[in-house]
Each structure stands twice: as structure tokens, then as C-alpha cells.
């Protein structure tokens, strides 16, 4: 695996770890006492550099892709089960944060459901639990599309299926699909970050528009990033709802000029701090690169040697 993977995966993990100590804190609390560095303890009483379910599920997915050389839905779900039940892919062998929809999907799979029939399909199953872990899928499919010239239809179908393992409603699938187009544009295009992200948004809306996807309207605030950039912070929500998470991440990216600034802005929105910072951090890592992530933050990441071994070619 190349430097792109290292930049993106560490970007996600470090964003997650920076948000963990203050997850569920209010925006008012963060405004009074903003986070300025990677800290520890807090909400879950975990040491500095401890990452949560966002990174565990991303690393489980990464490990599956690396071991299988492809996207294998059953193997990914088996690894999610091992994470949920036995603490695999965690910093200390213990799961301390897991979403309701994700837990329900893993239990459904454990009781015999097929991988693609495990995720919830209702309006209430649109948390950010698939978006937060989709980056390894996006990176793998970006490389596959680049080398094998596979179609957008094939790529997005696999992205949607990977979402459906835990979150099968079309709104969650769309968030993951949009994220794929954002990842691709950050890696493929030239120019400033906002320009690249706008190309990704344009490509996503063009693709889903051709497919007459009615749910796309939920993401209409993102159509023009030059306008979205100027939306005041009080109109950016930072809960676990997948639409708000994607919006918050993009807002943080286009209103900052470094990895550190983007992640800290995400964390200081409050509420679902770890996931919003993870989603932000993945894209920020890809754009700014691993070397531009603060060295002190990189050094604090728990189980760094193991993560490095996963990211080796």
C-alpha cells in the first residue's frame, strides 16, 4: 500500500482519536474551552491517541481488503463481528463505543442474516456508522478504477453494498457514494482543496442525477461549496445523522487551510466529535498528506506499529 493509504488512514484515525475525549460535549462547552491539541481521557477515560469504533471498523475493512485482495462482504462482516464481540481491531482489546444501528446489524449477521441483508433499511437507520468507515473501500476502488477502468456504476454499487452491511437505507448509501467522489477528486484533480471537493460534488450530483435518485435532495446544501462555505457555524449541525456529518466535515475542510485546523474545527463543533473529525480527517489527510499531520499527534497514536504494518505494501 502506498503513501495515499497512509495519509488517508492516519488522517481518519488521528481525527477520530482527537475527538474521542470530548465526544458528546456540547458546542457551548467547546466554545468556552476549545480543544487545541490531541488530548486524552475525558468522555471514555482513555489515554491520548486512543481511537474508537470509527477507526476499528475502518481498520477491519482495510485488513480484509489487504488479506483478500478484493472487497469480500462476508469477510468484512466476520471482522466486524470479531471487533464487536472480542475487541479485535481496537487499541486495548475492548470496545468502548459502538452505534446502535451498527450493533444491531452485527447481531443480525451473527444470527444468520446474509451480509448484505444485515444493515437497517428504515428512515431511522441513517446514522453515520457506514460513512465513518468507508474510506478504505474508497481508496481501494479508486485504485481499481484507475488501473482497470471499471465503470462508476460498478464502483458505486460496491460502495453502496459496503454501506449496507450496517446501514442499508439509500440516504446512507448516498453519503458513502458522495464521499467516494470526493476522495477521487481530491486524489485525481489539481487545484486548491475547495476546487477539488467541488469537482467531486459535481460528479456525484451528475451521477446520481442520471439515476433519478430522489434522496439526493437531502444533500442540496452542498451543491455550491462557495455558498456553503459562508453558512454560519450555528447552522452546521454536528450530530450523528449522516447528512449532518457529511455537511459538517466538508464545511470544516473548506473553512481551514491545514490538517490540524480542519480536525480541530471539526472537534470543536461538539456532539459527535470523533466521527465528524474522522470523516474530516480522512479527506484532509489525503489532501495535505501524512507528513503535514502534526508529528506529535502521529507519535501519540495507540498501536502505531501495528497500523504501520497494515499499511505496508
**β-strand partners of 242:** none
Residue 274, annotated as binding a ligand = yes
52 marked among binding-site residues: yes
Is 305 annotated to bind a ligand? Reply is no
Is residue 272 marked as binding? Answer: yes
Instruction: Check the annotation: does 289 bind a ligand.
Output: no
Is 166 assigned to a binding site? no
CA atoms within a 13 Å half-sphere pointing along the CA-CB vector of 175: 30
Q: Enumerate the known binding-site residues.
A: 52-54, 272, 274-275
Show binding-site residues for Mg(2+): 52-54, 272, 274-275
Amino acid at each position: 500500500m502506498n503513501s495515499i493509504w497512509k495519509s488517508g488512514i492516519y488522517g481518519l484515525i488521528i481525527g477520530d482519536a482527537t475527538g474521542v475525549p470530548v465526544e458528546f460535549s456540547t458546542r457551548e462547552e467547546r466554545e468556552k474551552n476549545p480543544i487545541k491539541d490531541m488530548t486524552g481521557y475525558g468522555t471514555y477515560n482513555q489515554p491520548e491517541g486512543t481511537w474508537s469504533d470509527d477507526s476499528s471498523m475502518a481498520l477491519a475493512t482495510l485488513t480484509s481488503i489487504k488479506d483478500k485482495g478484493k472487497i469480500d462482504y462476508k469477510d468484512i462482516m466476520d471482522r466486524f463481528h470479531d471487533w464487536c464481540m472480542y475487541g479485535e481491531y481496537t487499541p486495548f482489546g475492548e470496545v468502548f463505543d459502538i452505534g446502535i444501528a451498527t450493533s444491531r446489524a452485527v447481531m443480525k449477521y451473527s444470527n444468520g442474516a446474509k451480509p448484505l441483508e444485515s444493515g437497517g433499511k428504515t428512515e431511522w437507520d441513517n446514522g453515520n456508522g457506514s460513512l465513518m468507515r468507508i474510506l478504505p473501500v474508497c481508496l481501494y476502488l479508486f485504485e481499481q478504477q484507475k488501473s482497470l477502468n471499471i465503470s462508476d456504476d460498478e464502483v458505486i454499487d460496491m460502495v453502496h453494498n459496503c454501506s449496507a452491511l450496517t446501514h442499508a437505507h439509500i440516504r446512507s448509501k448516498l453519503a458513502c457514494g458522495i464521499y467516494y467522489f470526493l476522495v477521487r477528486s481530491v486524489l485525481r484533480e489539481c487545484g486548491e482543496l475547495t476546487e477539488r471537493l467541488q469537482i467531486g460534488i459535481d460528479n456525484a450530483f451528475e451521477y446520481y442525477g442520471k439515476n433519478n435518485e430522489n434522496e439526493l435532495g437531502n444533500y442540496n446544501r452542498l451543491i455550491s461549496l462557495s455558498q456553503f462555505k459562508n453558512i454560519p457555524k450555528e447552522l452546521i449541525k454536528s450530530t450523528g445523522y449522516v447528512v449532518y456529518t457529511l455537511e459538517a466535515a466538508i464545511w470544516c475542510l473548506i473553512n481551514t487551510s491545514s490538517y490540524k485546523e480542519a480536525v480541530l474545527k471539526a472537534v470543536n463543533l461538539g456532539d459527535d466529535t470523533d466521527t465528524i473529525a474522522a470523516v474530516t480527517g480522512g479527506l484532509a489527510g489525503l489532501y495535505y498528506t501524512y507528513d503535514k499531520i502534526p508529528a506529535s499527534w502521529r507519535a501519540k497514536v495507540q498501536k502505531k506499529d501495528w497500523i504501520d504494518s497494515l499499511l505496508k505494501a
